[in-house]
Structure 1
Amino acid sequence: MGAFPNLYGLGADGIKNFEVLLADGRLINANANENGDLYRALKGGGSNFRIVTRFGIETHPLINVQYTINLYNPEDYVEIIKATIAVQETIEDDPKIGLFTNFNHGFVAVSLLYGDTPAQSPLAFEPFYNLTSLITTVVPATNAISTVTTKVSRELYEEAYKSWIETSKSLPVGCVLHFTIQPMGKAGVQAGKDRGENILGLESVPQCWWVFTCEWPKDGSDDAAAQKAVDSSQKVLRSYGTENVKRMQDVAVKYDPEGIFQKLQHNGFLLRNTSEYLS
């Protein structure tokens, strides 16, 4: 997800064409007009179907961006969450708004972005400007990251904060756990559909993309544990929904009938690791 998903969708949605080498040696294009089923599956489907030899990327004119990072006292988390939801609701009417709310130990970092440079600060950010817990405004060794997507819910946000506090107490010395709230609006989902659709199975509703990040010192770090954190035990493809898993299966059978990309790849987010995979 970029800074302004409601303007242009996700990063994968900005790919206009994939030049693809199939397992049988053919070189083909996948885009909105050619091999559209493969084009959709490639936007989120991982390495299950082919080797991409060239990307055609959608470009946009440079725009002016207003960007501020405010640090707030985490003891004010209830009001910070209220402000986050207020801005998130406004995003549905103004796709130029970008927001990241990162809960860390000792501070909450809020990135306020606007895809323009108005004479005055955008009114949409007033819920944050009105907070009394501002610490400062700043200028703009991670080992493991995980994500989850939910609908907008103040109660859920508050419970996530409380769970983060409790979980952090159990971490080994030197480990730091923090999480980020990233809003995604209906316009962002629609932007993806307008660009040939992706395979992620996103609902057209206001939603939150959570990012949970755990950092620990490099010296003595367990690289094997970090690798395990992103291995096939995470059923990423299944999170797209049964219908989209079936779509990816159909694409795999059509473009890789011998299952080369399932059999010869060591590991990763592969269709063979979904319970629905048919060998």
Structure 2
Amino acid sequence: MKNVGTAPQAAGAPSNPPGSGVVPLHADGRTRREVARLLLEQGPVSAASVAEVLGLSPTAVRRHIDALVADGEATSREAPRRGQRGRGRPAKLFLLTEPGRARFGHAYDDLAVAALRFLAEQGGEEAVRAFAQRRVDALVDRHRAAVVAQGGPADRAKALAAALTREGYAASSRHVGAGEQLCQHHCPVAHVAAEFPQFCETETAAFADLLGTHVQRLATIARGDAACTTHVPVTVGDTQQAHPVTGAGHSPRPEAGRTARTPDGGKPA
């Protein structure tokens, strides 16, 4: 990303004075976050107002706002009309979108964990499992028809990956060895699942039922892995009947003589 303003300063030259509009390269990310913070706290707000608060030029601020808009983290609306409008483009005000607000974090995860702890205290582990099961059933039912319409586990895994992506899991499926590896690169409930593994267990069992074969969870974001990775066997002997996975640590063992590995070649946690 290029600097805004003049060429880089020579060694020993004084730093850019406040209000110069020059944003050093190393400060780019920090400045964009400050721009986003003002859109969060004061939006809808004009680029000129943000520039005045931060002591930057409107051009520099617009560059950051344009980047936030391009990433879907900010949006604009026309400023309210006051009096007779003159020539030129209507003034724009900017504010963050929901994805933009998410960069500042939510208390939702903490609230969910607290609620599940209370549920566990009142109804025990089975109450948490029942809640997790209802959640995954609702997710699966929305896409069951589209997934089971596919021919076999490999095609179903690809359809499931597409369905999970639509649900916000950023999923993909690729052929590896004797099967497919279904990878979920994002998990909306990872923070909760780290304390309540029932969420991962019920999800794995639901995948087995939906794909029509036993599956093996190799890695999870909740355990600190880079992605949630599920091995889906596609050999002839593995396509006859689904074998749901139940209980923590009770996934089917890897094929004899083979070590389960994650997509990057490492052993699962």
Q: TM-score range by the shorter chain?
A: under 0.3
Instruction: Report the structure number with the largest CA radius of gyration.
Output: 2
More strand by share: 1
TM-score, structure 2 as length reference: 0.22
